[in-house]
Amino acid sequence: LVVLEVLLLSLYAGRKFLIGERAGRCWQMFFLGSAFMLLELQSIARLALLYGSTWLTSAVVITGILLMILAANAIVIRVGQKLNQYVLYGLLFVSLVVSYLLPVNQILTWGAEVGNIGHPIVTFFTLFPMCMAAFIFATGFSSVKLPGRALAFNLFGAVIGALLEGLSMQFGINAMVILAALLYLGSFLCVLNV
- Tell whether the torsion through CA atoms of 121, 126, 132 and 135 is positive or negative: negative
Q: Determine the pLDDT at residue 17.
A: 62
Q: Determine the pLDDT at residue 1.
A: 73
Q: Determine the pLDDT at residue 21.
A: 58
Q: Determine the pLDDT at residue 111.
A: 60
Give the distance, in angstroms, between the CA of residue 82 and the centroid of all CA atoms in the same chain: 22
Q: Determine the pLDDT at residue 20.
A: 59
Residue scoring higher pLDDT (67 or 14): 67
Tell whether the model's pLDDT for residue 97 goes beyond 80. Answer: yes
Tell whether the model's pLDDT for residue 140 goes beyond 70. Answer: yes
Mean pLDDT (the chain) is: 83
Which stretch of DSSP H or E encloses residue 162?
helix 147-164
Query: Rounded distance, CA 38 to CA 26, Å?
Result: 20
Compute the average pLDDT of residues 101-119: 69
pTM confidence score? 0.84
Query: Rounded distance, CA 44 to CA 30, Å?
Result: 22
Tell whether the model's pLDDT for residue 18 goes beyond 70. Answer: no
Q: Determine the pLDDT at residue 58.
A: 83
Q: What is the pLDDT of residues 49-60, one digit of tens each?
A: 777 777 888 888
- DSSP category for residue 144: -
Percent residues over pLDDT 70 in the chain: 88
- Asked whether the beta carbons of 96 and 31 are under 8 A apart, the reply is no
pLDDT band at 174 (very low <50, low <70, confident <90, very high): confident
Residue scoring higher pLDDT (135 or 169): 135
